[in-house]
């Protein structure tokens, strides 16, 4: 039986950020103590890219760095879910997101548009 997609008040499919509110801590019962971005994405039912975006915004708990690896503590994620998935952003995270990441996405997309114009010719 197909899984029903979460929907908002208009009956449309809910955005991924809204779907985070519906995640229960029961999904974490079999999750490892330290979770990779892939494992976290699968558990939260969002894309890996969305995990990194939420991290950049400061919307999820900070991960732990082990050497070059990045892991999220299951206990931190469980507490975050039990608290209703609040934004845990700091002023620094907000500034970095708006001054670095967003302009970078705009520059990359502009570059791609320019390259595709020249490739077509």
**Average pLDDT of the residues of the chain:** 76
- The span from the CA of 37 to the CA of 39, in Å, is 6
Q: Where are the beta strands (DSSP E) in the chain?
A: 34-35, 64-66, 69-73
Decide: pTM greater than 0.75.
no
Which residue carries 């975006």 as its tokens? 53
Tell me which H or E stretch contains 65: strand 64-66
Question: Is pLDDT above 80 for 54?
Answer: yes
Q: Please enumerate in sequence order all residues whose Cβ is within 8 A of that of 26, keeping only pairs 6 or more positions apart, or say none.
A: none
Q: Provide the pLDDT for residue 64.
A: 93
What is the pLDDT averaged over residues 13-23? 52
Read off the pLDDT of residues 85-114 as tens digits, 9 standing for 90 and up. 877 766 666 777 777 777 777 788 888 888
């Amino acid at each position: 039986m197909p899984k029903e997609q979460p929907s908002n008040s208009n009956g449309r499919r809910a955005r991924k950020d809204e779907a985070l509110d519906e995640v229960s801590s029961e999904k974490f019962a079999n999750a490892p103590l330290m979770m990779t971005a892939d494992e976290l994405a699968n558990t939260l039912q969002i894309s890996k890219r969305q995990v990194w975006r939420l991290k950049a915004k400061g919307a999820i708990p900070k991960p732990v760095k082990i050497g070059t690896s990045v892991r999220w503590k299951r206990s931190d994620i469980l507490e975050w879910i039990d608290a209703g998935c609040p934004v845990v952003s700091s002023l620094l995270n907000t500034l970095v997101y708006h001054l670095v990441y967003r302009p970078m996405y705009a520059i990359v997309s502009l570059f791609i548009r320019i390259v595709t114009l020249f490739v077509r010719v």
